[in-house]
Amino acid sequence: MPFFEDRILTDSIETNTRIEYTPVSRFVRKFFPKNDFFIEQKGESCLFIASGTYRVGWIGKTFFNNAIEKALSSVKKHMQEEGVNLKTILEA
């Protein structure tokens, strides 16, 4: 069973393209509702934007703030590395 379900959302071929990944599990979806990827044309180049939505609530922030900050910094580092990798792949 796949962990994420993907949907490509777009109004028309001329508009920006958005790819949304949603967890299949209802339990996981409570804490990680979705991840989005946007591809936006800027002149002769493209802008690729990745965003993630996470819910931790006040209990998570109160008791696990340090762990959450550490995890988010790890995610930010991963996103930066993936951005470099995607740029290399797309420019090849």
For residue 47, what pLDDT is reported? 78
Q: Edge-to-edge strands of the sheet including 45-53?
A: 4-9, 17-23, 34-42, 45-53
pLDDT at residue 12, as a whole number: 45
Q: What angle do CA 53, 70, 20 make, to 5 degrees?
A: 20
Give the long-range contacts of residues 71-76, CB within 8 A, separation 24 or more.
Answer: none
Q: Do residues 49 and 18 share a domain?
A: yes
For the whole model, what pTM was predicted?
A: 0.55
Write down the pLDDT at residue 86: 79
* pLDDT given at position 70: 85
Distance between CA 66 and CA 73 in Å, rounded?
A: 11
Assess whether 36 and 64 both reside in one domain.
Answer: no
CB 90 within 8 A of CB 82: no
Looking at residue 4, what is its pLDDT? Answer: 55
| Judgement on whether residues 39 and 68 belong to the same structural domain of the protein | no
Q: Which residues of the chain are modeled with pLDDT < 50?
A: 1, 11-13
* Domain enclosing residue 70, as ranges: 58-92
Same structural domain, 38 and 63: no
The confidence score (pLDDT) of residue 27 equals: 82
Decide: 19 and 37 in contact? Cβ < 8 Å: yes
> Quick one: pLDDT at residue 15?
57
Same structural domain, 47 and 67: no
What is the token pair recorded at 73? 């910094």
